[in-house]
Amino acid sequence: MNNQFFKGHGLGNDYIALDPQRLSFRLTPRMIRALCDRNWGVGSDGVLARVPSKKADFGLRIYNPDGSEAEKSGNGLRIFGCYLYGTRQTRRKDFTVETKGGIVRIQLEVNAKGQVCGATVEMGRASFQPSLLPCMLKVPELLQQPVKAAGQSLRFTGVSVGNPHCVVFKEKDKIWTQADLLAIGPELENHTIFPNRTNVQLAVPTGPKSLFILIWERGAGETQASGSSACAAASAAVRLGLVKSPVTVKAPGGTLHITVDSKFNMTMKGPVAEVYRGSLSDSLSSTF
């Protein structure tokens, strides 16, 4: 038990990666909140915990900074791949990972210095069925459904990409502001029609194959980037005929490239970087 951890980021969306079996304390929701706290802990948008898997090469549990569990994270998966390769837990550049949101395949890009600098992740299939988010609306598909939030009458498209998403589009050449996100995001995340809460994207088409999104993550709040959010927004935009695949999705933290095929299988490609490694103090568990 050495309490070692790895920190990486994908477009400013940062995660701590570790092996719970090598910790001197249990990885409880309280400890996850402590680790993610940017003043009292290491600070991050979540925790990536390696776990055993009988179905894939590796297993992964993903935790939000509020201690709740996420089914899938695109940026988290790229960081997890970087962690596994960087800490020599694998020398392979192509492997599978089991998450609560399904099994994905990761292909790593390694630079001349032997450092992981990017990854392509097969993210699974997008679905617009209410039962898969879940969503309480009784409709065949969650396409441009009316909803009220922050005193506004909006329309959203609900997408499951292994985890739940609520995408709200503005017309081309219009803009969403941070004030919009801070008002609408938390209300939609906790709206009564989403019993397990939801991630939220405010999106606008910027070209025939491009989108801009602002992101409110379930259990995390505003984030600079999100791989699963980019996949959800891209698949929703393709489904509604707003853009065509492949889709360039830009967020405040940077750009991801999403391919959506005819059956709405999604592939995400984007950068990733190691930030630092360290060892957690035993005293951390007694501080909180």
**pTM of the predicted structure, to 2 decimals:** 0.90
**pLDDT-based confidence at 15, cuts 50/70/90?**
very high
Query: Do 11 and 97 have their domain in common?
Result: yes
Query: Do 168 and 116 have their domain in common?
Result: no
Query: Do 231 and 276 have their domain in common?
Result: no
Domain count, the chain: 2
Q: Does 288 map to a domain?
A: no
Contact 48, 18 (CB under 8 A): yes
Which whole number is the average pLDDT over 122-146?
97
Query: Do 142 and 256 have their domain in common?
Result: yes
Q: Does 285 map to a domain?
A: no
**pLDDT-based confidence at 286, cuts 50/70/90?**
low
Q: Does 149 map to a domain?
A: yes
Quick one: which of 231, 223, 222 has its CA closest to 269?
231
**Alpha-carbon distance 51 to 74, whole Å?**
18
Range of the domain at 141: 130-263
Largest CA distance in the chain: 54
CATH of the domain at 204: 3.10.310.10
Query: Do 146 and 88 have their domain in common?
Result: no
**pLDDT-based confidence at 288, cuts 50/70/90?**
low
Place of tokens 């990733």: 272
- The bridge status of strand 199-207 relative to strand 210-217 is antiparallel
The fraction of the chain above a pLDDT of 70, given in percent, is 98
pLDDT of residue 284: 76
Q: Does 238 map to a domain?
A: yes
Alpha helices in 161-275 (DSSP H): 178-189, 227-239
Q: What one-character DSSP code corresponds to residue 127? A: B
Q: Does 151 map to a domain?
A: yes
Q: Does 286 map to a domain?
A: no
Query: Do 54 and 80 have their domain in common?
Result: yes
pLDDT single digits (tens) 37-68: 999 899 999 999 999 999 999 999 999 999 99
Contact 117, 271 (CB under 8 A): yes
Residue 77: half-sphere exposure toward Cβ, Cα within 13 Å = 36
pLDDT single digits (tens) 208-263: 999 999 999 999 999 999 999 999 999 999 999 999 999 999 999 999 999 999 99
Query: Do 148 and 107 have their domain in common?
Result: no
**pLDDT-based confidence at 2, cuts 50/70/90?**
confident
